[in-house]
Each structure stands twice: as structure tokens, then as C-alpha cells.
Amino acid sequence: MTDNPFFEPWTMPFGLPPFDRIRAEHFPPAFERGMAEHAAEIAAIAQNPEPPSFANTVEALERSGRLLTRVGRVFSNLSASNTSAALEAVARDYAPRLARHRLAIALDPGLFARIADLHARRDALGLAPDQRRLLERHQLNFVRAGARLAPAAKAWLAAIAQRLATLHTQFGQNVLHDEKAWHLALGEGDLAGLPDFARAAAAEAARERGIAGGHVVTLARSSVEPFLTFSARRDLRRAVFDAWTRRGAHDNLPLIPEIAALRAEQARLLGYDDYAAYALDDAMAKDAAAVERLLLAVWEPAKRKAAAEAAELQVLAQADGLNGPIEAWDWRYYAEKLRQARYALDEAELKPYFALDDLVRAAFDTAGRLFGLRFSEHRGLPLYHPDVRAYAVSDREGRPVGLFLHDNFARPDKRSGAWMSSYRDQESFDGEVAPIIVNNNNFAKGAPTLLSFDEAETLFHEFGHGLHGLLSRVRYPSQSGTAVRRDFVEFPSQIFEHWMSAPETLRRYARHHATGEKLPEELLRRLLAARNVSQGFATVEYTAAALYDLAIHRRATTEPLDPVDFEREVLARIGMPAAIPLRHRPAHFQHLFAGGGYAAGYYAYLWAEVLDADGFAAFGETGDIFDPALAARLQRIYAAGDTEDPMALYTAFRGRPPLIEALLRQRGLIDAPVQGGAAAIAALHSFRAAHREDTPCSSSRSGPPTTIVISTI
């Protein structure tokens, strides 16, 4: 018997990890045993003297690595949500070891020979559709990992993977350290313009940092954006903006050239011109040209809309006494003033109607009306932080579905952003396994916690990912939930956002936190009318970041780049407006450099938006946003995981392939000057042609199961 909880059965409801017993020192021995057991299981499969069969090879591979998967999921989730110096040290130590272990399996010649033999005979094996797709997936993963390379190339590829794992870990930790280390203390005279909810959040942030009776701005987005929106102190807005955009710069700028060069070399070894070609060959988009067409088609109308917005903001700024052009730290401030002037809509007036608890209830009830799910808080479970709330999820017949963990608040030891992950995925291979899904947000804690409209959409977005995990109904773990193509995984989350902003939802759940009063109908009308204020800004800051991602990963050379010069060159080439920053500057662009999941894939949010805008329009066409027949077809997408081609799933739901105009209309770009709008529509219609199934199947996972973190934009 041992006191290491990873070596014991877990008896908590739904197999929840015993967080009250897990300590940092438990992970190294658990990782070591997990890797050793997994390696032995792989050797037994690869060296099996019996001829390859689906059962003794593919299904045996699906069963392998259970302990390592359990340890890895807990570790990666805690490292993101509730880290410590001890956990960070383990991460730095084990990231390259785990990368070496995964690649040793992917490059095992005996294992690949068995997979390749089955793949060659797949038509004669009598496989069910999900089994055939799983076999094709494994074959493709092995090939993309380098299984066909010569031994020397395999060794070099393994060295690259280990080094990248180290660099990714360092990059993410450096960002977190900068975010933890910085805050701006505010005196009473520094609070000018801040509404009550922003002052309360700043006071709570100060209390958490041991500053009694004070106010601070932190580098959490939920702290920065309200300050940039409301603070009347231009000098402090600039100070906060500068700190926000400099996150990671000191330590991470030196890492970016090496990451980019290693990825280019990885692609070259695998027979691709550049890393973007490698990454996109396993995506719906298929190639960088299709991605670029989509991004540039939106880019030009977005720039024109942003220029018109800037001209309006400049008028307000001049009337406010600003001599000179508005800067990046001014945009949100004057955009809020424009919204107030044009729509008589004040964020401070609106926010009291968006209490976190009400929005959580709205998300749960929406899932109930669409998919029959019920959420019941499960109290008394030992969780990894007091902020976390647990909910038992059941279906409309009362049968257990899974466990949902909601971790909503920013804190110093939690990485920034918003994301969904899992402690356990649904499967039914050797008996039904219920999922344990977690949503992380970074809202500023208050009493009560009040959300902006954008934060409410983020909550629904991540909950949409959560539903993708909870509603999964697949046989094999490698196909579960969000294990789909990166440019499809955002569709289930983004379409769910639409129910948050639906008038029916707002009329029911947007209530004043103090009085219980419903959101006044006139205020609702103004809110919806103002939704496209600064949409040019929002589209430009996102699309520019996606174009930067594409540019750095289309470099065919492994020669070092100067990351500052490269960023400047990309922005100059695309004509980036001076007053709009990238949504994520390179030194803290964790989507790209703290892991490989979104590398050459940040475009996926816009790609999926084509689907979500068109898909939600189907509900509008029925006259009922909860239409039961359409909801049932949508649920099929959430349930299918990677058992079917994503475009086939979408077409079965919608009754046809997606149309493009809904995207432009949703972003307010369809009314751009006729030439630009027409050109955008014409270019975007190539979207459908780009969805050919040139490869048998695909998913966002490669190699042994690991924790998949699905981030917000």
C-alpha cells in the first residue's frame, strides 16, 4: 500500500480525483510508473506474435496508458488552474520526458507495422463506421508523427519534440509570472470614471493581494478591460495598457525564434514546405491559401469599418480636449462614450443586470431546454480550490451524465484567459465512463460578481465546449467529445453563445442583482442595437493576430528571426491601423507558443463562425430558438465526437452546406462599401470548396490520450 493517491482506486462520485490528498510530490513517481506501464503495454501490442487484428492492436492501443492519462489530466489541469512553484518545477522537469515518451510510441516500428497492415486491409475487416474512422485516425497520426522516417530523422524529430515541450512550458510559465508580479495600486484620485462595479472588483483584487482598504488593477483581462473602458485618467490607462501588452516580453521574446525554427524543421522532416502546411493538412481548411482567403476577405471590410469607427472616436476625443490622434489605450474609453451618445447605453447601467449566478443559471437552463440536461450542485466534494463549484449532470430521464466543475474567478496562481478541459472523458468501450468536465473563466470576483456582455458570452462559449464533453456518446476514448479538428472544435461553443444574447434569454435572466427587476425593454432594445459598436476594432484585432499566426508558421526557413522586427513587418504588410493592437502580442500569445494546439490554427474561431452564424440562423428560420427537431440534430454534433466527418455532421444538422453571408451580417461587415462587401462574399464562397475530405479523418489529438485544453479567443 502507498500513500500516493494515483496508485489507489478513486471512490469519489464520478471518479473525481481526491484533490484533498494530491500533493506536488505525488506526480513524479506517478508519471514514472505511468510511463513504465504504458511502455510495457505498447511493447506487448507491438510484439504480439498473433497476426494484427482490430481488437489486439487498435482496441489494445485505446486501452493502454490509463494510469498515465489519469496523472496527466490532473497535473495539466492543476498547473493551469491552481499552480504552485512545486508544480511548475515538475512541469519543467517532466515536459521533455513526457514528449520523449509520446514520440517513442508514435515512432515504434513494430506498432506502426501492425497499424499499417490493418489500414491496408481496412475494407475487408468488417469494421463499424466509428472503428474504421478510428483506424484511419491512428494511421494518419503515426504518419504525421514520422513513423515512415529513417532512423536518423526519427531521432532528430524526437529531439525537436522534447525541446519544444520545454519551450512551451517555459513560455506559459513566464506569462503567468509576469501577470502575478504586476499590479497598479490606485489612490482615491485614481478612481475617476470607474463605476461602482469596477471599484468593487479593484478593491477585491487588492484584498486578495493583502492590500487592505486599497484598490488595484491586475493583468487579468477582467481587470484591464473595464479600466481601459472607464478610467478618466489617460496616463493610467496608458500605464495599464503598456503593462498588459508587455506581458512575457523580457523572457519570451528570446523563445519565439527557437520555437518557430524548430517547428519549421519539424515540418521539413515530415515532407512539408512549412509548419502551416503541416498543421493545416490535418484540418478542415486543408491549406494556408484557404485560410488566407478567409482572413483577407474579412480583413479589408473590417479595416474600413474600423477606420470609420476611428473617425467617430476622434471627434469625441477632440471634444474631450485630446489634441492628437487617439491611441490604443484610448479606443475602449471613447468607444464607450460613443455607445452612450449614440444608444444612450452605459455599461455601468447595464452591468448590474448581468450577475454571474443568473448567467450560470441561464446557461444551465438553456442546455436543459435544448438537450434535456439538468444540473444539480453537488456540495461537500473536496475540490482543488474554494472557488470551484461542482454540479451533477443528468439527462431528461434522470440518468447520470457526468460531473461539471465551474471555476470562474481570476487569481494569481491561475493562468489568464478562459478554457474548457476535462479530468475524464466519456467512453463506453469497456463499460460506460461518465465525463468530468471543467470550465475555467477569469472573472473579477465581486459581491456579487457582475459580468460585462462580452464576459457573459465567454461564459456561454466555454459552457458550449463543456457541453461538447458532457454530451459525448462515443465508444472509444480517442474519439470523445472535443477530439475533433481544431477548426471545427469552436463550432459547438460559438453557436451556444447565440442563446446568451437572444432576447428571450435576456428577458428571462437579465435581472438587477439588487432589486430583481427585469432588464427594461428599452434598455434591451438599445443593448441589441449597439452590439456592433467597435465591431471593426474587434474584427481587426483578432484577424490581425490570425494573420500573424499564419505568417510566422509559413516561414520555410529555419534561420532565426527577430520577433520584434517580424511582428512589425507583418503588421506593416497588412496595413494594421496604428490605434489597434494585436489581440495577443507575440510574447504572451499562449495559443501559439505555450503549446502547439492552435499554432497555424488561430484562424479557427473565424472559420467556425461561418458555421455558427449560419447554423443559428436555422433556428431563426423556424421561429423558435429552441425548436426540438433542430435541437436534436444539433445535439448529434455534440454527441458524435470524432466518429464522423465534421462537414457531414454540419450538413445533416443544417440540411445543406454553410452559407457565408450570415458571418458578414453577424459582424456588421455586410454593409461595408459595395466593392469590399461583394469581394468578401465572393472570396468567402470558396470556403465550401475547401472542405473536401482529402484525408480519411482527423482530430485535434495525436498520440496517446492527453488533456485537451480548448481556449477562448
Residue at grid coordinates 465546449: 465
Cα separation of 25 and 30, whole Å?
9
Nearest to 114 by CA among 50, 40, 35: 50
All cell numbers assigned to 626: 429552441
The distance of Cα 414 from the centroid of its chain, to the nearest Å, equals 15
Of 472, 466, 467, 375, whose CA–CA distance to 432 is shortest? 472
Cα distances (Å, whole numbers) of residue 230 to 50, 145, 193, 452: 70, 49, 5, 13
Find the distance separating the first CA and the last CA of the chain, reported in whole Å.
45
* DSSP state letter for 657: P
State how far the Cα of 11 lies from the Cα of 444, in Å rounded to an integer: 34
- Here the cell at position 391 is 454540479
Backbone angles phi, psi at 424, to 5 degrees: -160, 140
438 phi, psi to nearest 5 deg: -125, 135
- Residue whose entry in the numeric block shows the C-alpha cell 444551465: 364
Complete edge-to-edge strand list for the sheet that includes strand 400-409: 374-377, 389-394, 400-409, 436-443, 419-424, 710-711
- Eight-class DSSP state of 351: G
With residues binned 3-state (H G I as helix, E B as strand, rest as coil), the percentages for the chain, rounded to 5, are 60, 5, 35
**Which residues, 6 or more positions from 51, have their beta carbon under 8 angstroms from its beta carbon?**
none
With H, G, I as helix, E, B as strand and everything else as coil, classify residue 647: helix
Question: Using an 8 Å Cβ cutoff, are 75 and 149 in contact?
Answer: no
Distance of alpha carbon 281 from alpha carbon 695, whole angstroms: 8
Burial of 311 (0-12, 13-18, 19+ CB in 10 A): exposed
Rg (CA), the chain: 25
Greatest distance between any 2 Cα atoms in the chain: 82
Question: Which value, to the nearest 10 degrees, does the dihedral of the CA atoms of residues 99, 102, 103, 108 take?
Answer: 160
Closest CA to 512 of 390, 353, 667, 365: 353
Catalytic residues: 462
Helical spans, DSSP H, in 82-128: 85-106, 109-120
CA–CA dist 275, 463 (Å, integer): 31
Name the nearest CA neighbour of 161 among 104, 93, 76, 87.
104
Q: Three-class SS of residue 695? A: coil
Distances (CA, A) of 590 to 175, 459, 486: 8, 20, 16
Dist. CA 662–CA 260, nearest whole Å: 35
Cα atoms in the Cβ-side hemisphere of radius 13 Å centred on 254: 4
Nearest alpha carbon to residue 275 among 292, 288, 258: 288
Whether cis (ω within 30° of 0) applies to the bond prior to 704 is no
639 grid coordinates? 454527441
d(CA 535, CA 305): 8
Cβ neighbours of residue 102 under 8 Å, at least 6 residues apart?
161, 703, 704, 706
CA distance 443 to 476: 35
